[in-house]
Amino acid sequence: MMNSDTNKAAGKHKGLRDFLYSPTIAPYVFISPFIIIFIVFFIYPVISIGVMSFQTVLPGKIEFIGFENYKNLLNPTFFKAIKNSVVYTILTLALLIPGPMILACLLNSKKMIGRNFFRSTLFIPALTSVVVAGTVFRLIFGELPGSLMNQLIGVFGFHPIKWLRIQETSFAALLFLACWRWTGVNILYFLSGLQNIPEEVNESASLDGATALQRFFHITMPMLKPITIYVLTISIYGGMAMFTESYIIFTNNKSPKDMGLTIIGYLYRQGWEQNNIGFGCAIGIVLLLFALILNFAQLNIFGLFKRED
């Protein structure tokens, strides 16, 4: 009897193992952890936020109010937050894609002296806490004559500037921080792409008389297209989702005349500071749709969705 039960258990175990390792089921078994995590930590929260965006959510009181939260988005502060986020995203794209690409090409060259040192050094800012970095940059762009930037412009005869109280200079501080933090990361991405370009291609072009600029524009850039699209995609997301840098530099999300207010900053202000969670959820849904539209548009422009014949 005992042997019979043991044989049945072994048979069930073998049958389960054969089922899980079958060519049809095995792929789904291996990707199931990702699917479960994706559903629990992304799909479910998005659905919950979508539902709450049509409600007034207060302690002990939840009331369905239809599209009222979305109607309340039509206000000057929200449009100012959108404008700031879009301008910040565009400027970071203009700085953090061409610059790191060129630097990566220089660091990938065998003629570059100390290239391993520069690769490590340029990546260090990405390992620094954004809170610490934001605090340091707030001091660098301080109002006092003794701040670093005011001392630098003082060398050229300029008077001290209230950097974080002027729209243009406050944005310059945010962009300076973004470039300092993320240039090394984007360089790393482009370096990985450059090292996958066969050396024979560049050598052949060089033997045919192509200059360094011609090789860059006609060989390097086209072959870096997948990496460029990836960097562009994550940079759009990073630009639209920027919050911590502005929060630290301007101290508690209160920039003068909302010149540093972003969409996430407006969401934080409404959802947490003013306890208007339903309205904050509506802002989050609009941000999600806005970021998806931008990314799908750029992916379509670069031909990622086009079928090749």
Closest-CA residue to 170 (of 252, 268, 283, 249): 249
Q: Which residue has the tokens 């960097």?
A: 231
Whether residue 115 is contained in a domain is answered as yes
Q: What CATH code is carried by the domain that includes residue 179? A: 1.10.3720.10
Residues 36 and 176 in one domain: no
Please count the CA atoms within 13 angstroms of the CA of 197 that sit on its side-chain side.
26
Residues 18 and 146 in one domain: no
- pLDDT score, position 166: 87
Count: domains in the chain: 2
Whether residue 160 is contained in a domain is answered as yes
- pLDDT score, position 23: 72
How far apart CA 38 and CA 40 sit, in angstroms, is 6
Residues 201 and 141 in one domain: yes
Residues 241 and 286 in one domain: yes
- pLDDT score, position 81: 92
* 265: its two tokens: 């900053």
Residues 215 and 188 in one domain: yes
- How do the residues of the chain divide into helix, strand and coil, expressed in percent and rounded to 5? 75, 5, 25
Alpha helical stretches, state H, 21-147 = 26-38, 44-52, 68-71, 76-96, 98-108, 115-127, 130-140
Q: Output the pTM of the full model.
A: 0.83
Whether residue 62 is contained in a domain is answered as no
Residues with pLDDT less than 70, the chain: 1-22, 303-309
Rg (CA), the chain: 26
Residue span of the structural domain in which 218 resides: 69-301
pLDDT tens for 213-225 read: 888 888 888 889 8
pLDDT tens for 238-251 read: 898 899 889 999 88
- Helix axes 76-96 and 225-240, enclosed angle (nearest 10): 150
pLDDT tens for 186-222 read: 999 999 888 888 888 888 888 878 888 888 888 888 8
Whether residue 218 is contained in a domain is answered as yes
Cβ(181)–Cβ(174) below 8 Å: no
